[in-house]
A and B are shown apart, each in its own frame.
Chain A
Amino acid sequence: MTIKNNLFLLTTITLLISCLLITTNVHAESKKRYQFTNKEIRVGITPRSPQQMAAFYEGRGFSNEMINALIQPCFFTVGIHNKTSDILWHDLSAWKFTNSNGEIKHLDRAYWKNKWKKMRIPLAHQSTFRWTLLPEKLDFRSNEHEGGNIILPYSKNKFTLQVAFKTKKDKSGKLIPIKIENIQCQR
């Protein structure tokens, strides 16, 4: 075999291994999903990596300055499905995230609005960003699915989420509690 042939073989093997590693990594990312489900509700939480978030917002034309601010904290895409035949009340202020250091407050709309204002971010990008967030409050109708992102300050420790959803039009129905443990920020 010539040196040229050896180089070709080496390059091919390297490329094949790289492809295998990339595929494995993609699968590993998509497998990390946390879920609570019963006959009344389904709540799914998918951690997003800084690379995923940067790619998404770059695709929407966000500035580097804005993207840099967005890749620091932890992003989770949350989906909620009301499986009851009544109204289920979602209120993000009632969501309790805790880890070994205590309670962690999510970075809410007011936090980001203030940040974007200081950074003089165009209204269009602020609007797009807001629409990617989980609503702060919503009266989920029977069989309604909605979702969006929740953003927490970065921590390498695992989180626990606890929340109880109120039900019925006047919020007098039974509480539906959920608990999801060992949620981890994707890095």
Chain B
Amino acid sequence: MPTLVQKYLLACLLLFSLSSLTTANSKLPEPPAGILKLDAYQAPPILLTDIDGIKYNLNETKGHWVFVHFWASWCGPCRKEMPAIQKMWDNLKTQGLKIALINTAEDEDTVFNFLGIYAPNIRALMDRDGQVTEKWKPRGLPATYLVDPTGQVQYQALGGRAWDAPTYLNFIKSLIK
């Protein structure tokens, strides 16, 4: 049987843990319009290969914020958004942000031709049968999530966003600082 002192210490420990969690969450900045703050949840796994066949595992990016983006070449808003992602990436890639640019269920030729035009400097991950995309349950395509350094999904963008605009750049900078 725990003594009264032990019970008191246990209660203090529990309270401390809860307050730490709340503080960690409240430290996250309020997102700009078009980005939702989610009730954080563990990111579904991403185990894919890129267009050159090199393996990618989302788990290996722990310690960094990750910009997870799902797209397809046939989707109009994806075409519109991709150049902004390229500019955002050019701006932030040396500042600690990681990116997972996931093509949903298309082939290498389509992806190669598309990215050559819209985002030539970003490594494309191939979700060849679309099953990784399914697990993330996006609202539609394009879909963007921001995953925190512990692997929790914290934010979701609604549709395509002008990621190279100061509002969004500054928001992502405030996360990775």
**Residue positions of A touching B, CB distance < 8 A:** 56, 59-61, 122-128, 130-132, 135, 138, 141, 143-148
Contact = CB atoms under 8 A, between A and B. Distances in A.
7 contacts: A123-B131, A125-B105, A127-B133, A128-B104, A131-B75, A135-B140, A148-B140
A124 B129 CA distance: 4
B164 interface: no
B158 A128 contact: no
Contacts of B128: 124
Contacts of B74: 56, 59-60, 128, 132
Interface residues of B, number: 21
Interface hub of A59, A127, A130 (most chain B Cβ within 10 A): A127
Contacts of B75: 131
B52 interface: no
B149 interface: no
A132 to B, nearest CB: 8
A51 B90 CA distance: 41
Contacts of A56: 74
A126 B158 contact: no
A154 B134 CA distance: 29
Contacts of B158: 141, 144
Nearest to A133: B140
A123 B132 CA distance: 12
Interface in B113-150: 128-131, 133-134, 139-141
Contacts of A131: 72, 75, 104-105, 130, 133, 140-141
A122 B140 CA distance: 21
A146 B128 CA distance: 24
